[in-house]
Structure 1
């Protein structure tokens, strides 16, 4: 269906993508630049490429936009610093290169930002910074303070300390998680591909570029394939997941090719693939945090009757509908809500710890105090602290 839509668009070229790209309400833009857009063919940092990116950021700022930059490239910069010809494979080696390269990368950024009379700053993050609400608020305050000082924050994953449990895995995801934090209306992913195609253009010569995606559907996800670069970690499937996260907050996303002249500026016109922000779920900040930015500490398994009530009526989760508990967690932490077939129903913030829920599961609310010798809440998870993700 989307392919047909794309074909119709191309057959009516007079309409133009810019007629569909609603940019009048865009004030804050996050630009994510991948390693392939910063490096040469040998995987070393290419200063000319970085200069072109900063030049476009300067133009956007002169036009009145607020810009935040999410930049990969620390490991590549480390490789160049040590004269390595290939990317190492072990985590400690990558962490060491990131530690070496991050300093070099920021040195280059500061040098080029000065040319355009701009200031920049560095922020290194891990997923835990989004998972903890207090740290997330502090991140929000820090970024907004930097923007008030007219400083461009340059954000990257803290690869020097990252382990599998806390890694984002790619900066596409990191950038999409930042959208609600700074209330950005647009995320531009600068990559080594023109945008989303109906097939992998490196394999299928008949692949067609899709310029406008009104809504991310299962058909759209099938177009992702498994395309990825040797330098970067985020393939097209990762970019589509990022687009869904951005669109669900009501913001737009655009994929452009960094090799094309002024591709970042032209994203506001007709460049690349534009993912419409009005096609998502329009989650508020708290709902978006629950669904995407919080790590579940365990799971609560509910029976079929409870599942139907949660999905159809969005009621609070009471102990009577709980069958079992998986994992160890404390009151106030986020958990997954799953059915008997282990299918995820939603996520929520629990009012009781895992050990307490194991004692009261299957019982009525009126029996909580007799079992625990106290009762602070009737609900294990209140409806206001829950988001249902289940789709039939």
Structure 2
């Protein structure tokens, strides 16, 4: 099931616009592309004048930092990359502030890491800050805090960051601005038979039909692969996601003024873009936070009976100790873990073990405690541990099923 943007009123939409490094800096000289940035700023101010709320997610700190330090290439060591980002971030914000100030539009810098969102209170504080800024008529300018992020807690790329931001602000649209007009079935620069993909209802089904192996630019971290991931995250939160060209940001206005219909004639009048349709049953905020805001610190392997119980349509159960087979990793209560199952696939000569991801959740017990109580009934927990904080290991309200079900 899919739907049009949630507000239903084109005069009061919430939009998240993500601008990639290739749309901000020249990949050869690292010079800022002022014409692109000026057009984007003018478009955002126009959107604001039409009554829309806009969040800008920007890349470019490393590219700007390289230019300031007269460095030709992005360094390989993490601490050096972080240092370059620290130099570039301030100059990037100054550039945006200069451009937006020309049109009397206030902006705010928001730097995030996944660690900032790992605590539920901090996550809600970030949501409330976004809400307050947008209510004040401010344009939040969001970037990952590369100066302090480490690989284990990084969003990985700003496409993912923009999708999580879109979920946090309850956006109607996420625009992923890139150096092509839309998603193609293959790389159009090397394959003349590549065809544009205009509407996507199911991202997972699309993966078998398109080739998206090309990486991002030498300065950026993303490519079309990360945009598909971002689209999957955002549409699950109920956000219509658009891939379009970063050098023509005015197309955003045309796109939001023409909500999706099956009318071919109507769609032909719009600029070329790819539209990922938002799902009709978006994930609840808390479960969205668990799935995308938290870093998994371990894995719980469960049996087939537990899989059926936690995925059963209409009456999904909590996870109990009896259905747990083994535990991997070290973690404490209230941390996030992955739920998986090991299934044996029999071949003529050998057996192959397949590991399937079932979901993710917040545990009520530590890894040491779960190792002691796995396979036992809930009534046995107090005898095994000397106490029983909860009858279940993961409550269904803190459990997100990622494997496909019928609902």
1:323 to 318, 322, 325: 325
Give the TM-score normalised by the residue count of structure 1.
0.90
Distance in 2 between residues matched to 1:91 and 1:264, nearest whole Å: 36
CA RMSD of aligned residues (A): 1.9
Distance in 1 between residues matched to 2:208 and 2:52, nearest whole Å: 31
Q: Which residue of 1 aligns with 2:299?
A: 299
How is 1:1-392 mapped onto 2 (pairs within 5 angstroms)?
24-25=8-9, 27-41=13-27, 42-220=29-207, 222-227=209-214, 228-260=216-248, 262-268=250-256, 269=258, 270-271=270-271, 272-278=273-279, 282-312=282-312, 314-341=316-343, 342-391=355-404
Q: Decide whether the 8 Å contact of 1:330 with 1:352 is kept in 2.
A: yes
Judging by fraction of residues, say which structure has more helix: 1
Moved more, 195-204 or 305-314: 305-314
Cα deviation digits, residues 86-138 of structure 1 (max 9, x gap) = 32222222111110011101111111111111001111111112222111111
Following TM superposition, by how much is the alpha carbon of 1:332 offset from its aligned partner in structure 2, in angstroms? 1.4
Considering Cα pairs closer than 8 Å and 6+ residues apart, tell me whether 1 or 2 has the greater RCO.
Answer: 2
Structure 1's unaligned 5+ residue stretches are: 1-19
Following TM superposition, by how much is the alpha carbon of 1:265 offset from its aligned partner in structure 2, in angstroms? 2.7
Structure 2's unaligned 5+ residue stretches are: 259-269, 344-354
Q: Decide whether the 8 Å contact of 2:237 with 2:279 is kept in 1.
A: no
Give the TM-score normalised by the residue count of structure 2.
0.86
Following TM superposition, by how much is the alpha carbon of 1:230 offset from its aligned partner in structure 2, in angstroms? 2.7
SS of residue matched to 2:159: helix
Following TM superposition, by how much is the alpha carbon of 1:242 offset from its aligned partner in structure 2, in angstroms? 0.5
Structure-2 change in CA distance of 1:39 and 1:181 (3 Å)? same
Distance in 1 between residues matched to 2:362 and 2:106, nearest whole Å: 40
SS of residue matched to 1:283: coil
Q: Which residue of 2 aligns with 1:6?
A: none
Distance in 1 between residues matched to 2:71 and 2:389, nearest whole Å: 59
Q: Decide whether the 8 Å contact of 2:203 with 2:232 is kept in 1.
A: yes
Alignment length, in residue pairs? Answer: 372
Moved more, 237-246 or 379-388: 379-388
Following TM superposition, by how much is the alpha carbon of 1:292 offset from its aligned partner in structure 2, in angstroms? 2.1
Structure-2 change in CA distance of 1:179 and 1:22 (3 Å)? closer
Following TM superposition, by how much is the alpha carbon of 1:43 offset from its aligned partner in structure 2, in angstroms? 2.4
Following TM superposition, by how much is the alpha carbon of 1:221 offset from its aligned partner in structure 2, in angstroms? 5.4
Distance in 1 between residues matched to 2:7 and 2:320, nearest whole Å: 45
